[in-house]
Amino acid sequence: MTRPFRDLDPLQWARSNPQLFFRGGEVDAYQLVSWVLADVLVFGQGGCFVDQKADWWLVASNRDWLRTKAHTVEDLFQRVVAEPGHGGHSMRAELLVAAYCRDIFTTTRAAEQAIKGSRPAASLVDSVFNDAWVERALFFRL
State pLDDT tens for residues 55-105.
999 999 999 999 988 888 999 999 888 776 666 667 889 999 999 999 999
Q: Is the pLDDT of residue 19 over 60?
A: yes
Which residue type does 77 have?
A: F
Question: In the predicted model, what is the mean pLDDT of the chain?
Answer: 88
**Domains in the chain: how many in total?**
1
Question: Quick check: is 1 in a domain?
Answer: no
Whether the CB-CB separation of 93 and 101 falls below 8 Å is answered with no
* Rounded percentage of the chain residues whose pLDDT exceeds 70: 90
Domain that holds residue 80: 7-141
Helix residue ranges per DSSP H, 1-142:
10-16, 29-39, 73-78, 94-100, 122-128
Task: Tell me what pLDDT residue 90 has.
Answer: 72
- Who has greater pLDDT, 47 or 7? 47
Question: Quick check: is 102 in a domain?
Answer: yes
User: What residues are paired with 59 via a beta bridge?
Assistant: 50, 138
Question: Quick check: is 106 in a domain?
Answer: yes
Count CA atoms closer than 13 A to 80's CA, side-chain side. 16
Question: Quick check: is 2 in a domain?
Answer: no
